[in-house]
Amino acid sequence: MKEFVFKPVDTEGEDTLKTIALANHFNSWMYQSIKPFCTGKILEIGSGVGNISEYFLNDKAEIMLTDIREGYCDELRGKFAGSSSLLGIETMNMIDAEFDLKFAKHFNTYDSVYALNVVEHIFDDQQAVSNCYKLLKPGGKLVILVPAFQSLYNNFDKELEHYRRYNRRKLEALFTASGFSIQQSRYFNAAGIAGWFISGKLQHHKIIPSGQIRLFNRLVTLFKLFDMLIFNSFGLSVITVGKK
């Protein structure tokens, strides 16, 4: 796939993030799924409008927020400026040609790095994961959540400028090629597949309808149970945890 032209203002992405912000139960579920692996000093890649950042800050976690877009960073500063455990907010491009020069101060600094629904937006995903490795202390953990199964690629993915979707094997290969050992890898949110397929493939929506998000949010308890019943054997997303 040809590389997308970078947009300083990502209208579709921002609309989607603000729609998902309405889904407090879903965001809490995602947070609880990654929280056990995000300890010590944390760096978030692709903080966006802070949907997940807020949970860490409310729990007084030491966290550095980053995003490739300065507009999002400005929004994060306005939203979280008074947070006592906030380590900072910085613009960071994970495949910057001068990554080692610009971000050397962050190398070997963090106990945990996480990126939720970010890596699929990056053309050179292998380079991005390798640069994550540099940010971590020895023994530190990287947590990545990305969309699962290329067969589900649809209009939503195109509008959000996703280069690809993943399966467990493909995501794990990115980790191991960058020197990580796999700690855990599983699928997440199997029930979300139906809504993603109907709205994105059949109805050709450009962003997730807010009504659909609200309905999904009300049913999160059932969807969590469903994931447990199927032992996270498939899902709309895949989560992998690696150790440096």
- Residue 124 is predicted with a pLDDT of 97
The three-state DSSP-derived secondary structure of 123-176 is CCHHHHHHHHHHHEEEEEEEEEEEEECHHHCCHHHHHCCCCCCECHHHHHHHHH
pLDDT tens for 8-61 read 767 767 777 777 877 899 999 999 999 999 999 999 999 999 999 999 999 999
Q: Do 206 and 105 touch, CB atoms closer than 8 A?
A: no
Task: Check: CB of residue 127 under 8 Å from CB of residue 95.
Answer: yes
Confidence of residue 153 (pLDDT cuts 50, 70, 90): very high
User: Rounded CA gap, 68 and 85, in Å?
Assistant: 22
Contacts of 200 (CB under 8 A, 6+ apart): 154, 155, 156, 157
pTM of the predicted protein model: 0.94
Domains and CATH numbers, the chain: 11-243 (3.40.50.150)
Say what percent of the chain tops pLDDT 70: 96
